Amino acid sequence: MGSTKYSSDANLNPPLNTIHLDRWIPLYRAHALLYSTAILGLIYHRVTSIVTSSTFVDACLLSSLLLSELVLAFMWVCSQSFKWRPLDRQEFLERLPDKAGWPALDVFVCTADPYKEPPIGVVSTALSALAFDYPAEKLSVYVSDDGGADVTLFAFMEGAKFARHWLPFCRENGVKVRSPEVFFASGGCGGSEEEEKLKTMYQTMKQRVESVLENGSVSPKLASSEEDRQIFKKWKEFSRNNHPSVIQVLVKSSKDRDITGEVMPNLIYFSREKRPNVPHHFKAGALNALLRASAVLTNAPLILTVDCDMYSTDPTSPQRALCYFLDPVASAKLAYVQFPQRFQGLNKSDIYGGELKHLYMINPRGMDGFGGPNYLGSNAFLARRALFDSSLEAGNGHDFIKPEMVMEMASGVAACNFESGTKWGDGIGFRYGSLSEDFHTGFRLQCEGWNSVFCDPPQPAFLGDAPKSLHDALSQCKRWTVGQFEVGFVRHSTLTFGVRKASLGLGLTYSHLAFWGIWCIPISTYALLPQLALVYSRPLFPKPSDPWFYLYGYLFGAAYIQDMVDFIYHKGTFRCWWSDQRMWLIRSVTSFTFGSIQFISKQLNISSQGFNVTSKVMDDEQIKRYDEGVFDFGVDSPFFVILGTTALLNLCACIVGIFRYSMVAEIFLAVFGITNCWPVYEAMLLRSDNGKMPERVKIRAFFAAGIALAVGSVLFIV
């Protein structure tokens, strides 16, 4: 196994990190050569079949398959970049310099809707960051509340009081998972008298916050001081999209102490100004406003961005990032250190593919070989200088020396019209123009010459919540599809600009991600066309007696086997892999299809849906179904109409054509479709619980399947 060490002088200074090339690289490359040859053979066979077809209809049908296969070939070529030079890294925390030499760190915790992202969960995430093993005087935690909700501010006021007890408890007891919500839910670490008192204190705080959330607003009577009462009274004049900037310093490092007398990190609530008819650019706009405000207040050289549900499970994760930012060679053009996104509470089979192992674990290793992974939006330590020159806003942070003046400056840079006439969102800060602001930002930074690092320690550094309902999972993926198309189909395209400005390998990896929505073309075609051909006895693939038949079999089998081996090699299981590939097929015919339609609608200036926050709230019955591995179809959704239609067509094709032995490929695809659609059949025909498919959805699915069969009769019976 090859390795490279980052070090300014490897003979005198032990390296802070090492790189190891994946030992399977030669095998990956040999397989890529063989598989690419097979793809060329398939294209040759398909083209010659079109040229020699006897009817125009045959030529059109075969051409649609050729288009699908060209899309598959393009995506396969792009995907090989992930396997060309995958890396593994190792950090040596014990070699870091003394804490006095560590840079300051600002943590950004982002939330937007208290009803979809419960404030008590956001507080727990922030507390896990406040409890990092990091010098308290160098650590600041900001909560960016883009929903402008008084209940979120109230929750953090309560959380600030609890932090005075929680931080020393974690420190003195060596607690690893420092989210109180997760810590107490898991049984704690021994049930000492101190722990029981702390648990009671936390439960009381939680009840107060949830009571306020249920009431819909904060009563001034709940405020602990006259100043706080005035804040909440003023809030009555605010609305979600019409309010001034709100910045509240809840814990001030220079004066506040915990119950043991130790310094506490800064804790700051932030909500930028919003006004009607002024573009706010969703999460990217919120991050840019906080980027500027934090430069005025603390101006830490390093920034950690985390989603509100991504709590820390390793208090030493900032030190792992420092193994790269303090490396004299690696840090020269290092924009960010990306940790993987991992998720808690997934059921044994991960039925909705929530782990997203390729996106969050396998692909970043491959990108690391070409200059670093894409920015995932959460669990990333960023160099402030890569986003903008903070000296334009402030010197080294004002440390609240003149509170009134500093707060006025911070509020000013968070004003909704501050960016007018500037390069914010284009050449500065987090980038606009895409619903996937994280993907866009990482891509542009790497095209500007910055590098990144993928840091994947043996134990997860952060854990969060994946969608645990099928509709939420598909809706989230649809939003990503639109956002990534907005990066792929622009002047600064991943395929042209990325290859030219970054590298061929990195441009192809970004293109694979940017264009993943086009999977809808081959998967939808293969889910419908061969099945209709089977119903009407019109072969589209070679017979088993034809040697070309085995080429198609090799291409399908080799792709699936390699995908399975990769998944299991990266600490997956066969059951989870099966769920992952099934969800890939489901996303292709639903999320990717509707995301592509929405993107085209936006380009044609047709009204389309904007950014939606993924809900983190589920009822008990949904949770029970998920834990039991039962799919939830209990929503009237066009996603499920498409799934129902596809399932019915595959079932019909198998029943009608099962004895047409010469059409082996078509029969195989129908049976394969039925196998993957089994949860759909259960929801349509066998279940009676609230997660079954609604009657209206079933009726529409049967009607759509009937239309498809009628159209097929016109196409195939000619």
Binding residues: 116-117, 146, 283, 307
**What is the secondary structure of 183-204 as a DSSP string?**
HHHTTTTS--HHHHHHHHHHHH
304: exposed, middle or buried (Cβ count in 10 Å: 0-12, 13-18, 19+): buried
Cβ neighbour number for residue 97 with a 10 Å cutoff: 10
Using the structure block, give the residue that is written with the tokens 């009671």: 200
Strands (E), 210-293: 246-251, 266-271
> Strand 343-344's sheet: what is its strand order?
311-312, 462-465, 343-344
Binding annotation for Mn(2+) = 283, 307
Could you say which DSSP state residue 103 is in?
Answer: P
C-alpha 168/C-alpha 324 separation (Å) is 29
389 in catalytic set:
no
H helices present in 420-469, as ranges: 437-447
321 membership: H or E segment, kind and range = helix 317-325
Nearest CA among 283, 380, 383 for reference residue 341: 380
Nearest CA among 494, 504, 510, 567 for reference residue 373: 510
Nearest CA among 301, 325, 309 for reference residue 106: 301
Distance of CA 333 to the CA centre of its chain: 25
507: exposed, middle or buried (Cβ count in 10 Å: 0-12, 13-18, 19+): buried
Distance of CA 318 to the CA centre of its chain: 21
528 membership: H or E segment, kind and range = helix 520-535
88 in catalytic set:
no
With contact defined as beta carbons under 8 Å apart, do 343 and 464 qualify?
A: yes
Nearest CA among 322, 346, 319 for reference residue 334: 322
With contact defined as beta carbons under 8 Å apart, do 310 and 438 qualify?
A: no
Q: Which of 106, 113, 145, 146 is catalytic?
A: 146
> Strand 3-6's sheet: what is its strand order?
3-6, 17-21, 87-91
Distance of CA 109 to the CA centre of its chain: 15
